[in-house]
Amino acid sequence: MMLTGQKSKFTFVLITVFIESVGLGIMLPVMPRLLVELGGGDIGDAAAYGGILIFVYALMQFIFAPLLGRLSDHFGRRPIILLAMLIFAFNNLMMTIATSITWLLVARTISGIAGATSAVANTVAFDISSREKRAETLGMISAAGFIGVFAGPVMGGFLVDFGSRMPFLVSAVLALANFLFGLIVLPETLKPENRRQFTFKITRPVGQLFKFEQIGFMLPLLFAYFILSFAYDTNFSVLGYYTMEKYLWTERQLGYFLSFLSGMLVLIQGLIIKIAVPRLGEKRVIIWGMILNIVGFTGFAFAPNGWALILFSVPFCVGCLAAPAFYSLLSQKTPNDQQGALNGNMNSMAAASGVLSPLIMTQTFKYFTSEKAVIYFPGFPFLVAAVCIVLALLFTVVNFKRSY
């Protein structure tokens, strides 16, 4: 339960997480058209620009997200989360009036630096929740994020009918409204005695890997998890451009499909995994999950039409059970005093793949849709993703035989 008088504050937290999730999803259907308008090229050029924007945003988050958390430990939650929400609104306003790719690049850089609002929102929720209800609180926050991820692409696909900038304007208005709501209802939740001294020492996520070498038998599995994450990020960076290039989908069709994918993943990650892991065990879920991912990505690469793409999205989504099963297995094999290090390493792997994959995969898409390509093959990035998961599967199976 919430501590006395805290429900309005928790409502602000839920809205914050929802708006951030909507803001990320709402731009996906519209970005191809916007980048074509501003860049003046074809859909392949737009994908390359999009990959650079994702790369910059992910890199800034990779570098600055730990700093944002430490700032909230020193200055308090309220100023940091309100500032982050205000910057989120400013970023969307910049996207609304942007006249060049450079404008978009600056906007995404600023958004990446101050974009980890969900992490601070989680901390606020924990501050105002009783200790025995924190798991329930986190579940409600996750649900708000899932709803936002589901709603965002549909909203973007609908709003783009009113212009390529309308989704960003709506996202900015929502963020500004929530900022004003927070000014009214959100006091400081961090007690003075719990504040920490702030230093400019930057946390180096990748550097933590070297401190984890004492559990050497896990490193191949961590590497396999990185490859898996690298492949998964192909969908986020390429799928929209691919469907518009190959199937001539509209923004609304793309929005519906992305929401379908999000809904499938929410169902599978939230419900199916509770059945699959107890019955099959983590190892089998990981292996069969990656096999289904390979089937899904290969199907994406060669799907002759949109209906085939939707069909192959089913084994792909079911296969995504492999990622949480990976985490569960590694957590079971990690000593209690190393759980924090494990979590940091898993997050670092996912963040590093989020930086590298969009840049590589969008450039691959651009080449295989250009006149310079040896063969016209817009689905080639998905084939690369399938090969990556084959490698991850080999690493995993070999490690299971040696260590488990």
User: For residues 258 and 29, is the Cβ–Cβ distance under 8 A?
Assistant: yes
Task: Specify whether 54 is located in the same domain as 93.
Answer: yes
Task: Specify whether 329 is located in the same domain as 214.
Answer: yes
CA distance 392 to 394: 5
Task: Specify whether 210 is located in the same domain as 179.
Answer: no
Closest C-alpha to 39, from 28, 27, 22, 51 = 51
Exposed, middle or buried, 347 (CB in 10 Å: 0-12/13-18/19+)?
A: middle
**Paired residues of 2 in beta bridges:** 129
- Would residue 191 count as lying in a domain? no
What is the per-residue pLDDT for 3?
A: 45
The count of other CB atoms within 10 Å of the CB of residue 162 is: 11
Task: Specify whether 77 is located in the same domain as 105.
Answer: yes
- CATH value at residue 273: 1.20.1250.20
Asked if the model's pLDDT at residue 37 lies above 70, the reply is yes
* Chosen domain end from 119, 153, 186: 186
What is the per-residue pLDDT for 307?
A: 95
Q: What is the mean pLDDT of residues 305-323?
A: 93
Q: How many domains does the chain have?
A: 2
pTM (2 decimals)? 0.82
Most confident by average pLDDT, 115-119, 122-126, 302-306: 302-306
User: For residues 233 and 354, is the Cβ–Cβ distance under 8 A?
Assistant: yes
Structural domain of 69: 1-186
306-324 burial, b if ≥16 CB within 10 A, otherwise e? beebeebbebbbbbbbbbb
Most confident by average pLDDT, 40-49, 298-307, 344-353, 390-399: 298-307
Asked if the model's pLDDT at residue 174 lies above 60, the reply is yes
Which of 21-35, 160-174, 240-254, 262-276 is the least confident region? 262-276
Task: Specify whether 232 is located in the same domain as 366.
Answer: yes
Asked if the model's pLDDT at residue 288 lies above 90, the reply is yes
CA distance 275 to 392: 24
- Would residue 4 count as lying in a domain? yes
Task: Specify whether 220 is located in the same domain as 173.
Answer: no
- Distance from chain centroid for Cα 366: 23
Task: Specify whether 85 is located in the same domain as 167.
Answer: yes
* Chosen domain end from 186, 216, 244: 186
Q: Name the DSSP letter for residue 374.
A: S
Which of 32-41, 145-154, 296-305 is the least confident region? 145-154
Q: pLDDT by residue (tens digit) across 187-231?
A: 877 777 667 666 655 455 555 454 544 455 567 777 888 899 899
What is the per-residue pLDDT for 213?
A: 44
Percent of the chain with pLDDT over 70: 81
CA distance 352 to 350: 6
Q: Who has greater pLDDT, 110 or 135?
A: 110
Q: Name the DSSP letter for residue 272.
A: I
Backbone angles phi, psi at 129, to 5 degrees: -105, 150
- Would residue 335 count as lying in a domain? yes
- Would residue 199 count as lying in a domain? no
User: For residues 108 and 56, is the Cβ–Cβ distance under 8 A?
Assistant: yes
Task: Specify whether 180 is located in the same domain as 218.
Answer: no
Distances (CA, A) of 34 to 27, 164, 210, 243, 277: 10, 6, 42, 16, 42
Most confident by average pLDDT, 267-276, 281-290, 380-389: 380-389
- Would residue 197 count as lying in a domain? no
CA distance 62 to 119: 13
Task: Specify whether 161 is located in the same domain as 270.
Answer: no
Give the gyration radius of the chain's Cα atoms.
21
- Would residue 192 count as lying in a domain? no
- Would residue 322 count as lying in a domain? yes
Task: Specify whether 209 is located in the same domain as 182.
Answer: no
Task: Specify whether 131 is located in the same domain as 232.
Answer: no
Asked if the model's pLDDT at residue 132 lies above 70, the reply is no
User: For residues 234 and 384, is the Cβ–Cβ distance under 8 A?
Assistant: yes
* Chosen domain end from 123, 156, 186: 186
Task: Specify whether 31 is located in the same domain as 171.
Answer: yes
- Would residue 195 count as lying in a domain? no
Q: Which residue has the tokens 């994020």?
A: 145
